[in-house]
Amino acid sequence: MSRKPSRYLRGARILPPPVGKEVKAADLVDRFFLAYNAGRLREGARLLAEKMLRPEVTVGLSLSGALTPAGLGVSCVVPLLKAGFVDWIVSTGANLYHDAHFGLGMKMHAGSPFLDDRVLREEGVVRIYDVLFSYDVLLDTDAFFRKVLDAPEFQAEMGTAEFHFRLGRYMAEREKALRLGEVSILSAAHRYGVPVYTSSPGDSSIGMNVAAMRLLGRGARIDVSADVNETAAIVHAAKKKGLSAVWIFGGGSPKNFMLQTEPQIQEVLGIAEKGHDYFLQITDARPDTGGLSGATPSEAVSWGKVDPDRLPDSVVCYLDSTVAMPILTAYALARAGKRPHRRLYDRRAELLDGLEKAFRRSLGARNASSRRQSPKRKG
């Protein structure tokens, strides 16, 4: 007796051709990444190119881990910004600090993780696993930031988006003067109007230099509440007229800061919403330790961070970001057309105004409901 074919056997047959020497990166993903983590990366690449990068979707990118020292800022993030594939960013301050080395024309070198760090310290060499650079790179970058932070425009309170936008202008000027081309995330974000936030602004060498200037009563005063409200406003506006996507490399504080926009809108501000629509994460963290870096999109649904109706449009790739980022960048550039730049940085006041009005309406409705439910006192 023949059985009816199982619905579970409707997937494409696994029988790829031999890999040829001329195969392109996007074709490699589509034709040969068929199972296990490669299969998840293919699913993530297609989610990115076919859904997340549609014109109506606002895309947020989060960056954690030492990505820029490995050259992934200039090789991947800058081309993504240029193509209009990223609308806003949350990054560790460390990634932005090391990004500045490239914009300032400083040298990073490929090395080995199996070196005697006592000898490196004696010879003035700093190591990030197998990336090596001179200790003078740190000192010269610090000197650049302190000089910039002493400029009149930084003698004020501001959120990190405004802070990085102003830094980006100086970085772009240095790029141009040194004829480096587009090599810095900060300068590219300034050029294309992409707001860049740091969820822990004191937790990096940039923050350390800001703190040093404050000892002299100079420099910027960072307003972290502005960042919370601006990022929530970006997502609120995105969901009013379109969709919201989060593209997460690593985890940590940047991941949380990007995802907390929805609980801020729903739980704290009381504005009706359902969560982000698309979720793509590259991580090497396990979910069973309870840390956010490994937390799944399904878990995020319970917090209101991800729309439960859109959970099938979520992919987690358990893979090193340094492997996945170039592949996903190449795939997106090959399979998706360029998008117009939203220039969300220029629209921050407008977006905040929309969020404030929605919050006030929510407060009014809650207060009216509370009055209706309160027992009347006898005269």
Give catalytic residues, as residue numbers.
305
Q: Which residues pair with 249 in a beta bridge?
A: 63, 282
For 88-200, where are the alpha helices, taking DSSP H only?
Answer: 93-103, 117-122, 135-149, 160-178, 185-192
Q: Judging by beta carbons within 10 Å of its beta carbon (0-12, 13-18, 19+), is residue 332 exposed, middle or buried?
A: buried
Q: Are 336 and 49 in contact (CB under 8 A)?
A: yes
Tokens of 67: 């990505």
SS3 60: strand
Tell me whether residue 340 is exposed, middle or buried, using C-beta atoms within 10 angstroms of its C-beta: 0 to 12, 13 to 18, 19 or more. Answer: exposed
User: Distances from the Cα of 165 to the Cαs of 89, 224, 342, in angstroms?
Assistant: 12, 15, 15
CA distances from 4 to 48, 243, 330 (A): 35, 39, 41
> CA torsion 238→243→248→253, rounded to 10°?
40
